[in-house]
A and B are shown apart, each in its own frame.
Chain A
Amino acid sequence: MKTKAEIMDAQAVNRTLLRLTHEVLEKHHGTEDLVIIGIRNRGDSLARRMIKFIKEIEGTDVPLGVLDITLYRDDFQRFSETAVVQETIIPFDISNKKVILVDDVLYTGRTIRAALDALIDFGRPAIIQLAVFVDRGHRELPIKADYVGKNIPTADNEQVKVHVKEVDNEDCVLLIEQ
C-alpha cells in the first residue's frame, strides 16, 4: 500500500465539512428535531465537528450520537480486523427525529446497511438521511448519499482514506494504491 496522492489538505477538509453542514441546515430549514449520528471510527469525529459548526452558525445545540455497527455487519468473520465491538452511545430517543447519519467514506454500502439496521433497533425516526465525506463509488447495495463532500472515482486497486485529527493526528484525504 502506498499513498498515490493527497486529494485534500486540512483546509480543504474544513471547507468541505462546513459546506456539508450548510447543506444540511438549508435542507431542513434549521435544527428543529435534527440529530446527528456518526459512525465509528471517523464518522463520529466528523459529526462532532458538524455540531460545532451548527452551534456557531445557528447558536443551537444538536444532539450527537455515536454508532458502532460491528454487531450488525454481515461480514465480520470474513474481515475480522474490522469486527471491533465498541460502545454505541445514543443518549436520546431517536423516534420521530430527523437523523443525519454521518460516515467518512461511502463505498460498497454495507456499512450503511448495517448502520440502518442498528439505528432502527433504537427507535423509529421520522427520516434518516446520509451524509458522507467522500463517495468513492463501487456500490454493492442500492444506497445513495443525500449529502456528499466530494466524489472521488477510484479504480479497484485504489482506496480512499479520510484522516481526521481526532484519530489520525491530521486532517486530509489520501488516495492509496494497494
Chain B
Amino acid sequence: MQLSIRHLLGLDGVSEKDITIILDTADAMKKVLQRPIPKVPTMKGKTVVNLFYENSTRTRISFELAEKRLSADTVNFSTSTSSVKKGETLKDTIKNIEAMRIDFVVMRHGVPGSSHYLANCVDASVINAGDGPHEHPTQALLDMMTIREKRGSLKGLNVCLVGDITHSRVSRSNVYGLLACGAKVGVCGPATLIPYDMQDMGITVYPHIEDALAEADVLNVLRIQLERQKGALFPTLREYRNLFGITEARLAKAHSDITVLHPGPMNRGVEIDSEVADGPQAVILDQVTNGVAVRMAILFLLAGGRSSFEGVDHE
C-alpha cells in the first residue's frame, strides 16, 4: 500500500487509508528513534530544503532531525538569512533552489495556499510545514499519532480544540484528519476567534469551555497570541484565562481519563496552567517525540516507501 499523494500539502481530502499508512509507518519510525543508534540510511543521497519564511524553531528542528535520522542531506533556508528580505519573490526563490537539484522542499510560509503554489512550480515533493492559518498537516498527524497512542484508536473519540481557532495553523488540519478517521471534533474559544460558519465543517462549536469539557475525551489546547488583543478580538489575557484557560479546577470537572495536548510553545498560566501541562493527563512531550517520527514517516513514504503489514518478500 503506497500513499496516493505525491506532496503533503494538507489533510483536506486525504483518505483515512493514507492517514493510517502514515501513522503506522510513524509507529515503526518511533521504534527506530529508540534504538542505540537512532539513524537509518534510507534517504542517503536525497536532499531536503527546509524553506522557512516564518520563524518556527520547533517545527524546523523536528523536520531537520527527521531528515537526519533518515540520512538525507538537509539545507536550511530561512528569511532572516536569505534573499527574501531583499525582495525576491517566492517564485524566484523556489526556482533558484530547484536549480540546485533537490528532492524535497519543506516550507513554512505565512500565506494560505503558498505550498500549493510551490508544488505547481517545482518537480520536487513538497511538504507543507504550515501555510498561514490554512493547513499544517504534519502537526495534525503528530497530534493524531499521540492521541492514537494514548487512546488506542481515533474512532468515536471526542476531540476538542480550544483557543484561537481562526488564526491557528493547526486547527483546520486537525479537523480534516480527525473527521477522516472517525473522530468527533469540537472547537471552543472566544466567538471572535472562531471562523465563519465553522460548524459547516461537520463539527461542534462550543461557546463555553464548560460545555466542551463535559463532552471531550481529548483537549487540544492552542496557543493564544497576545497580539490578537490589537484587533479587538479579546480584551486581555487575564480575561481570556478566566473564560477559557484550562485550569486544574476546570479539568477536575472533565472525564477523568481526558488527554491534554498542546502544540507549543505554551503560555503557562494563560491558555493552560502548569498543573495541567505537567500533569498526568498531558501528552505534550510525547507530541514532540512523535513529531520527529511522523515527519520521518512522511519523508519515507513520499520518497516511494510503503507501509503495509501484508506479507512481502525481501528476496
Contacts and interface: CB of A to CB of B under 8 A. Distances in A.
Interface stretch (A2-10, A56-64, A84-92, A141-149): A84-92
Interface in A35-82: 39-43, 68-74, 76-77, 80-82
B308 interface: yes
B29 interface: yes
A111 B312 CA distance: 13
Given A76-B42, A80-B2, A123-B36, A40 B28 contact: no
Nearest to B309: A86
A121 B42 contact: no
Contacts of B42: 70-73, 76
A40 B306 contact: no
25 contacts: A41-B313, A41-B314, A70-B42, A71-B32, A71-B40, A71-B41, A71-B300, A73-B42, A77-B304, A81-B306, A81-B312, A82-B314, A84-B307, A87-B27, A87-B28, A88-B32, A103-B314, A111-B315, A121-B36, A121-B37, A121-B39, A122-B37, A123-B36, A159-B315, A168-B311
Nearest to B39: A121
B29 A85 contact: yes
A83 B41 contact: no
B41 A117 contact: yes
Contacts of B41: 71-72, 117
A80 to B, nearest CB: 5
Contacts of B44: 74
Contacts of B31: 87-88
Contacts of A103: 314
Give the one of B29, B44, B304 with max A CB within 10 A: B304
B253 interface: no
Contacts of B310: 84
Nearest to A111: B314
Nearest to A68: B28
Interface in B7-66: 25, 27-29, 31-32, 35-37, 39-42, 44
A95 to B, nearest CB: 9
Nearest to B314: A111
Given A80-B306, A117-B41, 5 more contacts: A39-B314, A70-B305, A71-B70, A80-B304, A81-B312
A105 interface: yes
A167 interface: yes
Contacts of B297: 85
A72 B306 contact: no
Contacts, number: 86
B105 to A, nearest CB: 18
A80 B306 CA distance: 7
A107 interface: yes
A160 to B, nearest CB: 8
Contact of B305 (A80, A105, A111, A118): A80
B311 A107 contact: no
Given A72-B41, A80-B2, A117-B41, A85 B313 contact: no
B251 to A, nearest CB: 35
Nearest to B42: A71
A105 B312 CA distance: 13
B315 A83 contact: no
B97 to A, nearest CB: 22
A168 B313 CA distance: 12
B65 to A, nearest CB: 16
B102 interface: no
B35 A41 contact: no
A34 B25 CA distance: 31
A79 to B, nearest CB: 10
Given A41-B312, A85-B25, A107-B315, A122 B304 contact: no
B264 to A, nearest CB: 27
Interface string B207-220: 00000000000000
A86 B28 CA distance: 6
The CB with the most chain A CB atoms within 10 A, among B31, B42, B315, is that of B315
Nearest to A70: B305
Given A70-B305, A77-B304, A121 B35 contact: yes
B36 A83 contact: no
Nearest to A80: B304
